[in-house]
Amino acid sequence: MLLDPDTSSCPDDRTGVSERGASQGVYAAGKETRRDILEVASSLFRERGLAGVTKPDIAKAAGVFPSQLGYYFGTKEALFVEAACRDVLHLAADVERAAAGTRTPRTYVRALVRTALSSPSLLFFAEAVLLVRTRPELAAGVRGAFGRLYDEGERAVAENLIRRGWHIRASAAAEARGFWAAVLGVCLEQAAFGASFSPASTEATVDLVLNLYESPAPPD
Amino acid sequence: MLLDPDTSSCPDDRTGVSERGASQGVYAAGKETRRDILEVASSLFRERGLAGVTKPDIAKAAGVFPSQLGYYFGTKEALFVEAACRDVLHLAADVERAAAGTRTPRTYVRALVRTALSSPSLLFFAEAVLLVRTRPELAAGVRGAFGRLYDEGERAVAENLIRRGWHIRASAAAEARGFWAAVLGVCLEQAAFGASFSPASTEATVDLVLNLYESPAPPD
């Protein structure tokens, strides 16, 4: 059975449902409910943070019973971490798409950095990372998300280098890890400064990542 | 009056105490008490996070009355933010000292990155950054700390370039900002992975920052 990787920890998946007909319909409906809850919860958590959202808030907004949240996700914290990890992986896909149409190393890196930093998903993920320090039973989800960010990033960088004939000084793996580290750090600064955030930090990150690219960037 | 910059938000400072003799003695004692509380609180917060520490815990460990915490700092959250900002600025000084004796760009950058990542102060500061999102009245302290990290970092990079005759591709300001962004991001990953943290991320950060240095690093 092919699963959406974003929902691989769905309880329904673990029951190994294999009968056709009715139970498959129930399974599909359950998967859809689960995804709906994740989307609604993400939106609320991004806006108000963990402390600002209750289980009844999420249940009401998703049109489900509070008991269904417990059935699908367990605690509010577990739902928070799963939603944050799913969000940051969607962001990774958006980042890759945004950079696809660019033509120079500078516009490529700038598209990566700006797409990442314009999303609330990075900070949501950072909050999940800090949360699992005191909830070690939830850490596996965060570690898995980091692993996928790196693996997908490395693949995207390597594909891109081949397709465009660019060269970098470090490995594709180092480039991907360094990129995510840098944008996670800048998103913290962005959070502290809010509307008065200085674009100089974004530019510094662009410079830092861009300088891995060997050919001097032509003006764009 | 010369103030310790780390304690510039001390209530005593704001009263503009200028008389000599008795009030100066009271002022000095108050300043010392305040610093003692900050040190004890930092140690507790680094170990257990904001939620794991109460005002009475801090008062007991510092040997003061709980009411003194309120007098010097206001809320627990205000104390948390001030302690975290003070901690990260001390870390910046440690980072600069650790790199002072190195001789190649690679050992220099590695000393910067490793010193930063081996300290619990980065994560403590990251938690303060996330906290001020919902406590905007405390954001000024965090913004001030970012500003000083960048200014001091820029000065250190510029001094270092002149002294060693090294060249970098980006500006000293971009290098300093990029460095702090990258190590803040990596410290989040480190928090998620704990003991199983992969040194590859540290190396990726070193590569990212090191690649700003123009002369190819000799093997060390």
SS3 string, A134-184, reads HCHHHHHHHHHHHHHHHHHHHHHHHHHHHHHCCCECCCHHHHHHHHHHHHH
Chain B nearest-CA distance from A213, in A, is 9
Q: Give residue B121's pLDDT.
A: 95
Distance from CA of A138 to the nearest CA of B (A): 10
The CA distance from A188 to B143, in Å, is 11
Query: Do B131 and B138 form a contact (C-beta atoms < 8 A)?
Result: yes
Please answer yes or no on whether A185 and B184 come within 8 Å at the CB atom: yes
**Six token digits for residue A195:** 């509307």
A149: tokens are 């960010």
Tell me which H or E stretch contains A201.
helix A199-210
Which of A58, A14, A67, A4 minimizes the C-alpha distance to A36? A58
What ipTM does the predicted assembly reach? Answer: 0.82
Query: What pLDDT, on a 0 to 100 scale, did the predictor assign at position A23?
Result: 67
**Closest partner residue to A127 among B130, B174, B183, by Cβ?**
B130
Q: At what angle do helices A172-193 and A105-117 cross, to 10 degrees?
A: 50
> What's the pLDDT at A75?
95
Looking at CA atoms only, how far is residue A212 from chain B in angstroms? 6
Q: What is the largest CA-CA distance in chain A?
A: 61
The residues, any chain, with a CB within 8 Å of residue A37's CB and separated by 6 or more, are A58, A62, A64, A68, A69, A72, A73, A79
pLDDT of residue A22: 63
CB count in 10 Å sphere of residue B210: 22
The count of C-alpha atoms lying within 13 angstroms of the C-alpha of B140, restricted to the half-sphere facing its C-beta, is 4
Residue A49 has a pLDDT of: 87
A chain contacts of residue B216, beta-carbon cutoff 8 Å: none
Query: Please, which residues 117-176 of chain B have a Cβ atom closer than 8 Å to chain A?
Result: 123, 126-127, 129-130, 132-134, 136, 139, 142-143, 146, 169-171, 173-175
Nearest Cα to Cα of residue B190 among B180, B200, B181: B200
Q: Looking up tokens 């460990």, which residue turns up?
A: B61
- Residue in A52, A182, A194 closest to B181 by CB: A182
Mean pLDDT, chain A cut into blocks of 10 residues (220 residues total): 39 44 70 93 93 94 93 96 97 95 89 93 95 91 95 94 87 90 92 84 84 59
Query: Cβ distance B79 to B58 under 8 Å?
Result: yes
DSSP B36: H
Cβ–Cβ gap B132/A192 under 8 Å:
yes
Count of residues in chain B: 220
Amino acid at A94: D
Shortest Cα distance from A201 to chain B (angstroms)? Answer: 6
Pick left, alpha or beta for residue B16 (phi over 0 → left; psi -120 to 50 → alpha; otherwise beta). Answer: left
Give ∠ CA B129-A207-B176 in degrees, rounded to 5. 50
pLDDT, tens digit, 9 for 90 and up, residues A41-86: 999 999 888 988 999 999 999 999 999 999 999 999 999 999 999 9
Handedness of CA A23, A29, A33, A36 (dihedral sign): positive
Q: Identify the pLDDT of residue A72.
A: 95
SS3 B168: strand
Q: What angle do CA A213, A198, A203 make, to 5 degrees?
A: 10
| Residue entry with tokens 């001020």 | B132
The C-alpha atoms of residue B149 and residue B151 are separated, in whole angstroms, by 6
Low-confidence ranges of chain B (pLDDT < 50): 1-5, 7-18, 216-220
Task: Identify the pLDDT of residue B37.
Answer: 96
Q: Which domains does chain B have, with CATH numbers?
A: 1-74 (1.10.10.60), 77-220 (1.10.357.10)
Structure confidence at residue B42 (pLDDT) = 97
